[in-house]
Copies of this chain bind each other. A is one copy, B any other.
Amino acid sequence: MTDSVKFFLPEEKMPKAWYNLAADLPVPLPPPLHPATGQPLGPDDLAPIFPQAVIAQEMSTERWIDIPAPVQDVYRLWRPAPLIRARRLERALGTPARIYFKYEGVSPAGSHKPNTAVPQAFYNKQEGVKRLSTETGAGQWGSSLAFAGSLFGLEVEVFMVKISYNQKPYRRALMETYGARCIASPSTLTASGRAILDRDPHSNGSLGIAISEAVEVAATRDDTKYALGSVLNHVCLHQTVIGEEAMLQMEMAGDSPDVIVACTGGGSNFAGLAFPYIRENLKGAKTRIVAVEPASCPTLTKGKYAYDFGDTGHLTPLVKMHTLGSTFMPPGSHSGGLRYHGMAPMVSHVKELGLCEATSYAQTECFQAAVTFARAEGIIPAPESSHAVKGAIVEALRCKAEGKAEAILFNLSGHGHFDMQAYTDYFAGNLMDQPYDERELEAALSTLPQVG
Contacts and interface: CB of A to CB of B under 8 A. Distances in A.
A57 interface: no
Interface in A363-407: 371, 374-380
A5 interface: yes
A109 B378 contact: yes
A450 interface: no
A174 B426 CA distance: 12
Given A420-B173, A424-B173, A178 B77 contact: no
Interface residues of A, number: 43
Interface in A98-146: 106-110
Interface string A1-20: 00011101001100000000
Given A77-B5, A417-B417, A423 B176 contact: yes
Interface string A33-58: 00000000000000000000000000
Nearest to A76: B5
A375 B152 CA distance: 10
Contacts of A61: none
Interface string A146-177: 01001100000000000000000110111011
Contacts of A84: 77
A285 B427 CA distance: 53
Interface in A170-212: 170, 172-174, 176-179
Q: 6 smallest A-B Cβ distances: which pairs? A: A108-B378, A170-B420, A417-B417, A173-B420, A173-B424, A5-B76
Interface of A: 4-6, 8, 11-12, 76-78, 84, 88, 106-110, 147, 150-151, 169-170, 172-174, 176-179, 371, 374-380, 417-418, 420-421, 423-424, 427
Given A169-B420, A174-B423, A417-B417, 9 more contacts: A77-B84, A88-B151, A109-B378, A150-B374, A170-B417, A170-B421, A176-B424, A177-B375, A178-B374
28 contacts: A4-B12, A4-B76, A5-B11, A5-B76, A5-B77, A6-B76, A77-B84, A77-B88, A77-B377, A88-B151, A107-B378, A150-B375, A151-B376, A169-B421, A170-B417, A172-B424, A173-B420, A173-B424, A174-B420, A176-B424, A176-B427, A177-B371, A177-B374, A177-B420, A177-B427, A179-B375, A417-B418, A418-B420
